[in-house]
Amino acid sequence: QRQRFLDGFAEVMMSFHRLSDVDIDELAERWRQLSSGADRAVLGHELTLFLMRNPEARETVAAQRLDIIRSLGEFISKNVARIGGTLTIEAEMLARVILAANDGITLDSHLDGEDLYRPYLQLVMSSVRT
């Protein structure tokens, strides 16, 4: 499910060819579509709480978590290089921050009826410099 989310995002990213092409409104709109039900974000929060309560389960999912982090990190590296930008935060670390923050951004956007996708993506994009 997270892969589908990333693929949907990737599609928009691929339409940008230079840093100046990057349209945060378009990225935010895609996020809004992809997370309309918020189910994925609820599952993410539940999994986090489950792992907090059950330390012995962490190892079982550690490899999978690392895979997701690495694949998002690579996606970020490649795309930032493709549009001619450089990162102010190391790609894999940025991937970790994004994965840690995303679900909360989605859920609070739902709960408060306030679109946090755009300002959040603006923050994330501020880690890319020309």
Draw the binding track, 12-51, toward a copy of itself (x: CB under 8 A; -: no contact).
--------------------------x---x--xx-xx-x
Smallest separation, CB 80 to a copy of itself (Å) = 15
* Alpha carbon distances (Å) from 15 to 66, 85, 97: 28, 15, 24
- Which residues ranging from 92 to 121 are in contact with a copy of itself (CB under 8 A)? 93-94, 96-97, 99-105, 107-112, 114, 116, 119-120
User: In this structure, what token pair is assigned to residue 7?
Assistant: 């693929």
Cβ proximity to a copy of itself: between 14 and 101 the closer is 101
From residue 35, give the alpha-carbon distance in Å to each of 20, 24, 82. Answer: 26, 16, 26
Give the single-character DSSP code of 116: -
Q: Give which of 125, 117, 86, 85 is closest to 101, Cα–Cα.
A: 117
Largest Cα span, the chain: 46
Binding mask 50-79 for a copy of itself (x = CB under 8 A): -xx-----x---x--x--------------
Which residues of this chain interact with a copy of itself, rule CB under 8 A?
Answer: 38, 42, 45-46, 48-49, 51-52, 58, 62, 65, 88-90, 93-94, 96-97, 99-105, 107-112, 114, 116, 119-120, 122-124, 126-127
